[in-house]
A and B are shown apart, each in its own frame.
Chain A
Amino acid sequence: MNRALSAVAASSLLAAGCGAFYLEAEQPQVCITQNSIDVPITSVGVSGSFATQVSFDVGKWYPGLGDSAPAAGEVVRFLQLRVSLPPGQQVADLDWLTTFDVTLLPPASDLAPIVLLHYQKPQGTAQVTSLALDSTVSNQNLAAYVRQGTLNFEFAGSGQGQLPPADWTVDVGGCFYASVHKTLSDILH
């Protein structure tokens, strides 16, 4: 009887311990830049529009994140968008770019798209070749939007003036915050 009680007590302590023990990883900022993304121009002339999608493989640089359905304790936040023109193409600057939205596309129909930021060209800027734009929803946890480690962004905007004469390329970077909290019990299972 005493042995049985001891075994029960020991098992209870172990189970309680596994729940109390934890490991947490926090990455304050990981910036992933997709180089030379092709952006098709959908119309040409003095005004035009464009739309393209970019996938950020967050899970590749943060192993385990978004492998399956989002787990409690996983946090992913979008902090900043970085856009720059790679050298050696016909587009000299981004002055023609008047407005665009960056939208996070949902991996499933039960989630709504999230507009991460809206860009409106400021007055009086000239020869802009790069942009660094802070997210307007930087406190929102996007973990539910990660599938197979990937976040899918849609860029859609319009321009006026000296438009790119043809499809153009751009370097697009996304900066993210990520953290994962797992109990020993989670890890063992």
Chain B
Amino acid sequence: MRSLVVAALIAVSAPALAHAAPADEPYPHFGASLALGAPDGAVASLIGSPWYWLIADVGFAYTLQPGIVAGVTLQPIDFAIAPTLRGEYGHYFTGNAGNYIKKWANVPTELQPFISEASYSWWSAYLGLAIGSRRGFTFRIEGGVGWITLYVKGASATFPGDNVTVSTADTKFTGFVPMARLTFAYYF
């Protein structure tokens, strides 16, 4: 399925790339960006752009724990407002997200021992709009879909009140969900 997404990205963008006008002056090959999104969280990235229509980025992400996000954005039209197509992979490393999740999700007391270490990753595809200049500052707003996988580490606990002992294996959550992302990029 992931390879299909990549193939679709290339197939959709290839004709536009073939007919895109070459730049009149050199485009910057590098840049930096800050992004906010779901499920990305907050991401600070470095950008490499071998051709003006191809923007690759790798970044450090942080929400409940540290992670990495890597993506490729196709922006085939050089205009103040331009459509974009983006594919992305992200991964948040295993960390103790339990306290945050318990607080935000109002987890029942008896379940709290079972929420501690968690990690998640995702693949996503976005359509969006880039507003600004490819030779300077650009703002992108993107919406799309993605596959997300979350692992919560197993645990064991005894509840004297209920006279019960419970142990769980790692729990896996998967989903095909809508995703969104805002990016502020500067090319230099």
Which residues of A are interface residues toward B (Cβ below 8 A)? 17, 20-36, 57, 60-61, 63, 173, 184
Contacts and interface: CB of A to CB of B under 8 A. Distances in A.
A184 B111 contact: no
B108 interface: yes
Given A21-B175, A26-B174, A35-B164, 4 more contacts: A22-B175, A30-B167, A30-B168, A35-B158
Contacts, number: 62
Nearest to A31: B167
Interface of B: 108, 110-111, 114, 145, 158, 163-178
Contact of A26 (B111, B167, B171, B178): B171
B169 A34 contact: no
Contact of A21 (B158, B167, B173, B177): B177
Given A23-B173, A25-B173, A26-B172, A17 B178 contact: yes
Contact of B110 (A17, A20, A28, A60): A60
Contacts of A21: 145, 175-178
Contacts of B177: 21, 23, 184
B168 A20 contact: no
12 contacts: A17-B178, A21-B145, A21-B175, A21-B177, A24-B175, A25-B171, A26-B174, A28-B170, A31-B167, A32-B165, A32-B166, A33-B165
B173 A35 contact: no
Given A35-B164, A60-B110, A30 B172 contact: no
